[in-house]
Homo-oligomer: A and B are copies of this chain.
């Protein structure tokens, strides 16, 4: 047991153990995990749907806690789906950011809502 492990690896291992202890493997197909992920993402979005922007002063303590829990649920399903798919999330994010850098050159899209709309 080390203390300097990377958080994404640490959470992956904890999520693996959690599912294994409950024999939930058979339910955790990539398809089911992807579906569960969209459900949790929508539960997160639900907190914001009637708010102007979701800025902190628009929230109360109950909403802040709900948002924190839903953020966690999305992350946990995301980590499990990446795990089932053999994807290294950090590497994938770095690769995608590089692609985004080429697709949206800063000097062409800066502050431009219309271009960003097509993002």
Query: Taking beta carbons and an 8 Å cutoff, which residues of A are in contact with B?
Result: 4, 6-8, 10-11, 14-15, 18, 21-24, 26-27, 29-32, 34-39, 41-56, 64, 67-69, 71-76, 78, 81-82, 85-87, 89-90, 92-97, 99-101, 104, 106, 109-111, 113, 116-117, 119
Give chain B residues whose Cβ lies under 8 Å from the Cβ of A111.
Answer: 22-24, 26
**5 nearest A-B pairs in the assembled complex, by CB-CB distance:** A42-B42, A30-B54, A72-B96, A23-B111, A29-B53
Give chain B residues whose Cβ lies under 8 Å from the Cβ of A47.
Answer: 34
How many angstroms from the CA of A94 to the CA of B52 in the assembled complex? 30
Closest CB in chain B relative to A12 CB, distance in Å: 10
